Structure 1
Amino acid sequence: MTVRGIDHVGVTVPDLEAATRFLIAALDAEVLYDTLPAEEGPVGGEETEQRLGVPPGTRQLAIRMLALPDGPGLELFAYDPPGRSPALPSDLGWQHLALYVDDLDAVRERAVAAGAHELAPPHPLPGPEAGPANRFAYLRTPWGSTLELVTYPDPQPYERQTSRRRWRPAPPRSAGEGEAGG
């Protein structure tokens, strides 16, 4: 058995269309398909409640799968009634989405222009992750979820202690790379 990586991250949003527009504008996400198109919902009842572990009376309004350019999918869910407020980093459970980016400043500016709120300017990665150009920034999406942008192009101190490395997407291919020649 081998875990190969993250396939997708599920995100509950208050407005599926607005969240889709933000993710396309901010992160170059692409809509792949609707598992539950809004016009076919809502879906609820005992089976849904048991399968998902949601409170009685909760109904799924829509489900959409998006793809990031070089990362896992983002599966958006809309529910009725909407859930509690978005998780903060101090809450229990999975509480933020971190995306590796090549140009942190450009992606941060794009996300802010698309409606994200920057919590603070980018910071250097600390301690075992440090390096001259290694940085991160936290933002809030328009619906209040925490989004981290991270880049670590320089070697990190932890790499001297182990041969195991953090996963990160492969660098982008140059134009024509991998194409058959003629």
Structure 2
Amino acid sequence: MRARIAGVLLLAFAAGTKAEVPGLRGVDHVGLTVPNLAEAEAFFARVLGCKTLARNGPLSAPDDWLTRHVGVHARAQIREMVFMRCGNGANLELFEWSAPDQDRRQPRNSDFAGHHTAFYVDDIQAAAAWLRSNGVETYDGPFTTRDGDYARQWVLYLRTPWGAHLELVSYPDGMGYERNGPERLWDPRAAKP
């Protein structure tokens, strides 16, 4: 059934049919599963200034509801979950799951399903110095791209205490792609608090 739906969507795109979820407005939140919710919540609050606004759990189901609705093992359980507001932009939802078939390996950025969450900062050099002076593990950088669509964007990758990748970005003078036309990516600099 999934392959059939994917085939229909590919045909629709190929035929030039507009395929878009009706009423789509934008990214609401990014969900991350963490090994220890208290540790993760404290990290995002201390390092990025995120505020917890909603909390729920534990949640489980006596049948296969979780499998049918969110694609996890039927005996999986959400120990606890929180919604956090992190400045302007999408919210952050943190989960602490337990499941009989849970894979506890942290994917690298280059792995399938590898991922990172990026946060915009006004002054990436000051942010990098603050992170390092506060014991947060960062990779080399910040670095910038000089050519192409990402030109003038500054980047710094960091890792959470449990190994997840985060990114800080800054492009106070805009990005290279902006010379290609009037349409723009969503810009946190223009968002209202």
In the superposition, the TM-score normalised over structure 2's length comes to 0.76
Which residue number corresponds to residue 126 of structure 2? 106
- SS of residue paired to 1:107: helix
Structure 1 spans left out of the alignment, 5+ residues? 174-182
CA distance in 2, matches of 1:63, 1:4: 24
Identical-pair percentage: 32
Identify if the C-alpha distance between structure 1 residues 125 and 84 changes in structure 2 by more than 3 Å, giving closer, same or farther: same
Which residue number corresponds to residue 179 of structure 1? none
| Equivalent of 2:56 in 23, 32, 35 | 35
Which residue number corresponds to residue 144 of structure 1? 163
Deviations 1:95-125 (A, max 9, x none): 1111111122333344445653112121013
- Corresponding letter in the other structure for 1:43: S
Deviations 1:35-56 (A, max 9, x none): 22xxxx2524421232111134
CA distance in 2, matches of 1:88, 1:126: 25
Structure 2 spans left out of the alignment, 5+ residues? 1-21
Identify if the C-alpha distance between structure 1 residues 10 and 4 changes in structure 2 by more than 3 Å, giving closer, same or farther: same
- Corresponding letter in the other structure for 2:143: H
Could you tell me whether the CA contact under 8 Å between 2:108 and 2:114 is conserved in 1?
Answer: no
Which residue number corresponds to residue 178 of structure 1? none
Which residue number corresponds to residue 182 of structure 2? 163
Of structures 1 and 2, the one scoring higher in RCO (CA 8 A, sep 6+) is 1
Could you tell me whether the CA contact under 8 Å between 1:29 and 1:66 is conserved in 2?
Answer: yes
Deviations 1:7-44 (A, max 9, x none): 110000000000000000111100001022xxxx2524
Q: 1:4 Cα shift?
A: 2.7
Which residue number corresponds to residue 130 of structure 1? 151
Pairing 1:120–2:140 present: yes
Identify if the C-alpha distance between structure 1 residues 161 and 144 changes in structure 2 by more than 3 Å, giving closer, same or farther: same
Identify if the C-alpha distance between structure 1 residues 143 and 114 changes in structure 2 by more than 3 Å, giving closer, same or farther: farther
Identify if the C-alpha distance between structure 1 residues 152 and 61 changes in structure 2 by more than 3 Å, giving closer, same or farther: same
Deviating beyond 6 angstroms after TM superposition, the runs of 4 or more aligned structure 1 residues are none
Q: Which moved more, 1:87-96 or 1:66-75?
A: 87-96
- SS of residue paired to 2:82: strand
Root mean square deviation, CA, Å? 2.2
Which residue number corresponds to residue 11 of structure 1? 32
In the superposition, the TM-score normalised over structure 1's length comes to 0.81
- Corresponding letter in the other structure for 2:25: R
